[in-house]
Homo-oligomer: A and B are copies of this chain.
Amino acid sequence: MEKLCDNLEECGLPSALEMVGDRWSFMILRATFNGLCHFEEFLNVLGIARNILANRLSRLVEDGIMQREQMADDRRKVEYRLTEKGVDLLPALLALRQWGEKYGLGVPSNPVLADRRDNLAIAPIRIHAADGREIGWHELQWRDKSELGKQG
């Protein structure tokens, strides 16, 4: 494996980590993917401190990952919902969860995301080549964009 890509300026990872790279953001997102959307719900389910939750939620909203909506019928209530940008974090979240399940947790995760169509659990998140083949680390190499072949 060549020693390339030591260039932090041209990597999306730092910006991603700045937004969701702390202990709680992913847990909040997970809860949101499970349908939670109220402050007190997050509080009860996650066991996070109030101030930290408030801080993280407002950061997630600031970063456009969630949106904050005041309810019309009961204006005390606020709902936090995922934006498209937030929903797009699902693959990363699932990849992490599956990894944690494989290596960290003794027990299989439950419940699990299933395809509505066939009611089967989703496949593990994997790396795929441009043509869809599944592909592993040893079959990969770092390439400068300019050196890439052109898609057929």
| B-binding residues in A (CB < 8 A) | 1-23, 26-27, 30-31, 33-36, 45-47, 64, 85, 87-105, 107-123, 125-133, 135, 137, 139-145, 147-149, 151
Contact = CB atoms under 8 A, between A and B. Distances in A.
Contacts of A22: 21-23
B97 A13 contact: yes
B92 A95 contact: yes
A92 to B, nearest CB: 4
A90 B137 contact: yes
Copies per complex?
2
Nearest to A85: B103
Nearest to A31: B6
B27 A14 contact: yes
Contact of A111 (B19, B105, B142): B142
B123 A12 contact: no
Given A23-B22, A115-B139, A140-B114, A120 B151 contact: yes
